[in-house]
Homo-oligomer: A and B are copies of this chain.
Amino acid sequence: MKHEKAAAQLEALGNPTRLKIYRILVRAGEEGMSVGQVQGKLGVPASTLSHHCKRLCETGLVSQERQATTLICRANYPAMQALLGYLADECCADGTCPPVMRTRAP
């Protein structure tokens, strides 16, 4: 993963409201959840929620699919896996950091 993309995803998750949205979507599983359902859980105005969902989509952490008038949002699990992998491995690519940080052999 490129550093810029990782930074963008980390920044996206760094906003408390967006982290809540993302947590809700992760827990919603493959089925996903509509923007309106997320709004019901969070209680933020629709325009604010739309803005944050867009941000999450732009980073690739979330995907969207239209179903009639509702928009289904889903956590992009492979993207999350890639980000976790970046944090765990890319930062320690040269093997000089403590073994506890590495998930791959040096």
Contact = CB atoms under 8 A, between A and B. Distances in A.
A26 B11 CA distance: 19
A22 B91 contact: yes
A63 B99 CA distance: 19
How many copies of this chain sit in the oligomeric assembly? Answer: 2
A45 interface: no
Interface string A1-25: 0011011111111111001101100
A83 interface: yes
Interface string A82-104: 01100110111110111011000
B87 A80 contact: yes
Interface string A34-52: 0000000000000000000
B27 A91 contact: yes
A72 interface: no
